[in-house]
Structure 1
Amino acid sequence: MRLTGEQFELELLEEKHTESLFKIASEPSNWTYMTRKMHNEQDMKLIVQEALKLHQQGDTEPFIVRRKKDGAIVGSTRLYDISMPRKTAEIGSTYYSESVRSTGVNTECKYLLLTYAFETLGVVRVQFKTDEQNKAARKAIQKLGASEEGILRNERMLPDGRVRNAAVYSIIKEEWPEVKTKLTESIEIKKKGHE
């Protein structure tokens, strides 16, 4: 499966992407809020294998992010906890190379995932969770048009021993048409800025 946007496309994750993803995940700015530590490429290989197993079970759609102009892999993102009985899903496990930050990559990738979730899968709710302390991620999620629903206290223990609180956001199907319009406008503005 491939979801194609203006500057970026989402391509289903494969084991052959492990090395590229490890290089991106190893960039210092990506380490601060990761929920798992990766010491070497083998650790990333295990993460990729777990994602592929969940994909086979129908729970997860894991993607790499590819820049269209040169074909470079520049990140990863997922649609996961997909529940067709409940008609819900979550977007997360997202990280991008420093080289594409501030290019509209997040807006475009989330637009592609949200369009797929609401218009192809027919979900009624898409959820986002992030570390309560991750101000940049929280701002990016709010910029998408998601509503903050609250804080999950002691949501998980992180590898460094810190107990994480998670901020929870959502977009529901009734909000999707307005959110879609705003995201489309934002993508067009970024596109014109890069022409």
Structure 2
Amino acid sequence: MSTWPAPVTLTHPLARLEPLLPEHHDALVAAAQDGELWRLWYTVVPSPEGMRAEIQRRLDLQAKGSMLPFVSVDAGGTVRGMTTYMNIDAANRRVEIGSTWTAASVQRSGFNTACKLMLLQHAFETLGCIAVEFRTHFFNQQSRRAIERLGAKLDGVLRHHQKLPDGSLRDTCVYSVIAPDWPAVKAHLQWQLDRPR
């Protein structure tokens, strides 16, 4: 098992990211029910019935060293979703931030921005990453806009990149933030969090 990156809890006044545990099951089911997120065709969010299997899948990938899964928790202590470092490339100090979903009631708030700030800051300032990737479905316009608001740049589109559970083929938009971008991206994210909403 890879020891890079090691499990860690990340904190911000608006959010906390904690290592995923099987005990988070019921709270994650409640978060996914907020907006019935599993019904969105262009993304994969576990249904209440599939949550236990998804938690185990992520923990199995963690054991293999290819994923570091988190639950996202709001300032009041309520679990609001999941996110990960995935496709971990320890030799090249690269990670992807992905397999992320957030309860509908906290979308388009400062919550997701705070989570991304914590993940990016840890990646660049603690782990010494040279690049952080983000990937999303071509048709997931909400996710694409959110990634672009972070300051990530579009590297390209992988055509027919994945087969989805419904049999459709996903074109995947690949974005990245590279280490030289980080100071400006960090300042931008902090500005977004500090400005009145």
Same fold (TM > 0.5): yes
Alpha-carbon separation, structure 1, partners of 2:122 and 2:67: 13
Alpha-carbon separation, structure 2, partners of 1:30 and 1:6: 28
Instruction: State the one-letter code of the partner of 1:147.
Output: K
Find the counterpart in structure 2 of residue 35 from structure 1: 44
Find the counterpart in structure 2 of residue 161 from structure 1: 167
Structure 1 gap ranges (5+): none
Task: Among all aligned residue pairs of Structure 1 and Structure 2, give the percentage whose two residues are the same amino acid.
Answer: 36
Alpha-carbon separation, structure 1, partners of 2:187 and 2:14: 18
1:37 offset after TM fit, Å? 5.7
Find the counterpart in structure 1 of residue 25 from structure 2: 18
Alpha-carbon separation, structure 1, partners of 2:113 and 2:191: 10
Find the counterpart in structure 1 of residue 176 from structure 2: 170
1:28 offset after TM fit, Å? 2.7
Per-residue CA distance 1:64-100 (angstroms, 9 max, x = gap): 11111x2111111111111110111000111111121
Find the counterpart in structure 1 of residue 61 from structure 2: 54
Aligned mate of 1:98, from 96, 104, 111? 104
1:126-137 superposed matches below 5 A: 126-137=132-143
Other structure's SS at 1:161 match: coil
- How many residue pairs match? The answer is 188
Find the counterpart in structure 1 of residue 121 from structure 2: 115
Other structure's SS at 1:10 match: strand
Confirm or deny: 8 A CA contact 1:4 1:10 kept in the other structure.
yes
1:16 offset after TM fit, Å? 0.7
Per-residue CA distance 1:83-126 (angstroms, 9 max, x = gap): 11011100011111112122211111111000111111111010
Q: RMSD across aligned C-alpha pairs, in angstroms?
A: 1.6
TM-score, normalisation: structure 1: 0.90
Alpha-carbon separation, structure 2, partners of 1:30 and 1:123: 32
1:178-193 superposed matches below 5 A: 178-189=184-195, 193=197
TM-score, normalisation: structure 2: 0.89
